[in-house]
Amino acid sequence: MATKFYKCNQCGNVVIKVVDANVPVMCCGEKMVELTPNTVDASGEKHLPVVTRIDEKTIKVEVGSVAHPMLEEHHISFIYVETENGGITVNLKDKPEAIVYVGDEKPVAVYEYCNLHGLWMTTL
């Protein structure tokens, strides 16, 4: 199953669906909206994940080729590294980057979620 992300239009919750049981994802009494990466009209150079391999088991993910702001009102909430067998989520605080240990897993895509400009993805 391809990784799917959903957002609640009422409260702003974002969830990652890891098992598809063919039922709608619900929050605040209504269906959540599936997010499609790279569809918001915003600056790609500040949103597309940039991935650098540090060693065989570790990657560095930076959000954007130009640093993305990390302000309360405009920030990157998380990075999600999709692998052939699952995924790794990293919640961000101060910097729009993370060092991610992938072990023996092969990363296939990296996503990031901007609270203003939505979901962005880079395929590896």
> Where residue 50 sits, what CATH number does that domain have?
2.60.40.730
Query: Could you tell me the residue range of the domain that residue 106 belongs to?
Result: 37-123
Model confidence pLDDT, tens digit, residues 87-106:
999 999 999 999 999 999 99
For residues 49 and 99, membership in a common domain is answered with yes
For residues 2 and 50, membership in a common domain is answered with no
pLDDT at 11 over 80: yes
For residues 83 and 114, membership in a common domain is answered with yes
Q: pLDDT value at position 42? A: 83
For residues 9 and 62, membership in a common domain is answered with no
For residues 63 and 83, membership in a common domain is answered with yes
pTM: 0.94
Model confidence pLDDT, tens digit, residues 46-65:
999 999 999 999 999 999 99
Contacts 24+ apart (CB under 8 A), 65-70: 67/96, 68/96, 68/114, 69/96, 70/94, 70/95, 70/96
**Number of separate domains in the chain:** 2
